[in-house]
Amino acid sequence: MASAASARVPAFYRFVFLWLEPISILTGAVYAHFFPSIYLDLTHSASAPGTTIPVSTSIIMTQLANLYLGLAILEATVLRSTSHVNVWSTFIIGLLIADFGHLYSVRAAGSDVYWAWWSWNAIDWGNVPFVYFLAVTRILMLFGVGFPSHNAGARLKRL
């Protein structure tokens, strides 16, 4: 019988964190690097520089793309390398903290960006509800929801 620490991570979490999220992050990397004008326009059209991207902005967009690429690779490979729940939990805690930072980063667009779903564009859908979904999924995983012999109290003691 496997210990709780090495219990198999449920299929839903494996799908989200091994496939769905890394692919979405990779998509962001491709747009940030190869289509920075579109990326910036969708992020905030009123302040986007248009088709001529300043050199400093181009450098920052490529750096952002590189960070996205690194994160996608790390998530897809580190979590694939182990079924140890403590490793997954440690990684997921870091990503959960980053989710809150990501949500904080869009505050300059106005508070309605957090709830006015009818005005969201493709990047808004990725920046807000998708991040909400990922954060809730991470919290559920950290509480052990969906794991065999679910015991949230014991699970939190291990973290």
Q: Quick one: pLDDT at residue 67?
A: 97
pLDDT digits (tens, 9 = 90+) for 112-125: 999 999 999 999 99
SS3 132: helix
Tell me, what amino acid is at 157? K
CA distances from 10 to 63, 104, 109, 117 (A): 34, 30, 36, 30
**9 Cβ contact partners less than 8 Å away, ≥ 6 residues apart:** 83, 85, 88, 141, 147
Show the tokens assigned to 19. 């496939």
Nearest to 10 by CA among 143, 142, 146, 158: 146
3-state SS class at 49: coil
Owner of token pair 């990779």: 26
Task: Determine the Cα–Cα distance for residues 15 and 85; give it in Å rounded to an integer.
Answer: 15
The owner of tokens 């904080």 is: 104
- The pLDDT, as a whole number, for residue 145 is 94
Asked if 88 contacts 79 with a C-beta cutoff of 8 angstroms, the reply is yes
Length of the chain: 159
Q: Kindly list the domain boundaries of the chain, sorted by start residue.
A: 8-158
pTM for this entry:
0.86
Tens digit of each residue's pLDDT (9 = 90 or more) over 50-94: 889 999 999 999 999 999 999 999 999 999 999 899 999 999 999
